[in-house]
Amino acid sequence: MASLADATPPIALGALDGRYRGAVAPLVDHLSEPALNRERVRVEVEWLVFLTTHGVVPGVRSLTEAEQTALRQVVEDFGADEIAELAEIERETQHDVKAVEYFLKRRLSAIAPDESDRGLAELIHFCCTSEDINNLSYALMVKGAVEQVWLPRATALVETVATMASDLRDVPLLAHTHGQPATPTTMGKELAVLAHRLGRQLRRIRGAEYLGKLNGATGTFGAHLAAVPGADWPELSREFVESLGLQWNPLTTQIESHDWQAELYADVARFNRVLHNLCTDVWTYISMGYFAQVRGQGTVGSSTMPHKVNPIRFENAEANLEVSNALLDVLGSTLVQSRLQRDLTDSSMQRNIGSAFGHSLLAIDNVARGLAGLDAVPAAMAADLDANWEVLGEPVQSAMRALGAQGVPGMEEPYERLKELTRGRRINGDDLREFIAKLGLPDDVAARLSAMTPATYVGAAPQLVDYLDAD
């Protein structure tokens, strides 16, 4: 039997890099191993530029504008050749960050070849522990992935749900509580609830803090002060971290504590869970016939039953949301823990960030495609409403309660009287109107309740959809 492991090109072990590659490929630019190395190169380059332009080390010249541009171009041009070169260096160093240092020293020697400038190379990785570079690199990676890939996709999806809510704001719907017929609403209002919930989580995620530190092996600036005692190293660290677009963390051990990551992943997981709720609700509406799945898209619903169009997009999304949340939850719980100054559990754990976001992004893609294939079926919703006149027991007994509180006679035990009429059996419009006529209600109240139907008993549901505009 041929070994699949030896196939060329290599076969992906996981679904994200195989079957679903197209949906998640943009995350590779941010959360892959090569992306990590590119950000490490970026941080090392910016640290060298910062040290020289700020004259931190006495007697060291500043890099020229051309030299700074050339070094930054190394980051911009980082591709297959650079990935291979770094891998070759790492096989010798057996240390990934040290390999980046040696890689950049090679580039600097080509950019500034003068013998008198050889000392500049010693400022690459100056006073840095590996975690100084890694924590900043991961912060830049996650920030880029969230702001440039995940958030735009998630925002577009929520906007789609909000648009559906607006389009269906007036379409009456029989609500269900505990799976049983309940007070009518509108399909638009129910979708608006989901859009509102998802939007709240997006606002939290947009406000996420991305922290970083650069303070040495135990967070004390010990090496920095030993090398250049006259510099204000905490202030220089703050200025450098903020120059990268991150927020400075002044108090850390050898590692940045990763609390911000746990906070972000909890918010993304919560978004995922609300989206999972949307999937199960829409799946249920499809099963009830309230939504029809658009046919003629070339899909096969069932291998044996030609009539079927299965709600696979929502089912696929559910599974991927569950995988994503399992990863996000373990990331959040593990990353906030560290033995004393540090251990390497965070290093291994953070390599799963891409998978966590990948499964969430894949779910978002599936939900978007699923929603695009739906048509509302108001007639099916209307039929269920017309078959459940007993839900109007609520407004009748509520009106009787209000009248009883005002001293109108004959309004005693309204709940009990409506329960006797409606519980455990179906009634129709004639049954209800006959019951109302015998209650002794004021004429205007009797007329208002008699004119009501399950389809008109939706309260302020259509108007509530408009609150989405304020989000």
Which residues participate in catalysis according to the annotation?
178, 302
How many whole angstroms separate alpha carbon 291 and alpha carbon 376? 4
Alpha carbon of 73 to those of 81, 107, 468: distances in Å? Answer: 14, 11, 45
CA–CA gap between residue 134 and residue 458 (Å, rounded): 55
C-alpha distances out from residue 360 to 137, 205, 258, 357, 447, Å:
22, 14, 21, 5, 52
Cβ neighbors of 307 (< 8 A, separation 6 or more) are 301
Distance, in Å, from the CA atom of 17 to the CA atom of 27, rounded to the nearest integer, reads 11
Report whether the peptide linkage leading into residue 9 is cis, meaning its omega lies within 30 degrees of zero.
yes
Angle, helix 65-76 to helix 33-53, in steps of 10 degrees: 170
CA distance linking residue 48 with residue 122, whole number of Å? 9
Helix/strand number for the chain, H first, E second:
21, 6
In whole angstroms, give the CA distance from residue 232 to residue 239. Answer: 11
The answer to whether residues 11 and 354 touch, using CB atoms and an 8 Å cutoff, is no
**Dihedral (C-alpha) 29, 33, 39, 42: value to the nearest 10 degrees?**
-110
Whether the CB-CB separation of 173 and 455 falls below 8 Å is answered with: no
Rounded to whole angstroms, the Cα distance separating 53 from 243 reads 13
